Amino acid sequence: MIISYYNLIQKIMTTLSVPISPKLEEVVGMLIKKGYGVNRADVVRKALKLLAEEEAVSSVLKSEQEVKDGKILRGDLKKIAKKI
């Protein structure tokens, strides 16, 4: 049995209803006009994905800075856990 892509997507996605201000609604409309997404849901999905990617990059950069600042633990993890 062949399942269409559309049906597959419908089965794995959920709906989230979020109130937004009129200004944010204008921003979403502008992004659609600029081709960022084909509809409001597409724009919001892409924005959330971008935010998650930015958070991941930020976390890595923060970790790298902590290493540079010497804020890391070295040694046997079991011994370190006992100390903490």
Per-residue pLDDT tens over the stretch 14-67: 889 999 999 999 999 999 999 999 999 999 999 999 999 999 999 999 999 998
Taking the whole predicted model, whether its pTM rises above 0.75 is answered as no
Q: What is the spatial distance between Cα 33 and Cα 66, in angstroms, rounded to a whole number? A: 42
| Residue owning tokens 């049995």 | 1
* Contact present, 73 and 82 (Cβ < 8 Å): no
Q: Which residues contact 20 (CB under 8 A, 6 or more apart)?
A: 28
Q: What is the pLDDT of residues 74-84, one digit of tens each?
A: 778 788 778 77
Neighbours of 43 (CB within 10 A): 19
Tell the burial category of 31 from Cβ atoms under 10 Å away from its Cβ (0-12, 13-18, 19+).
middle
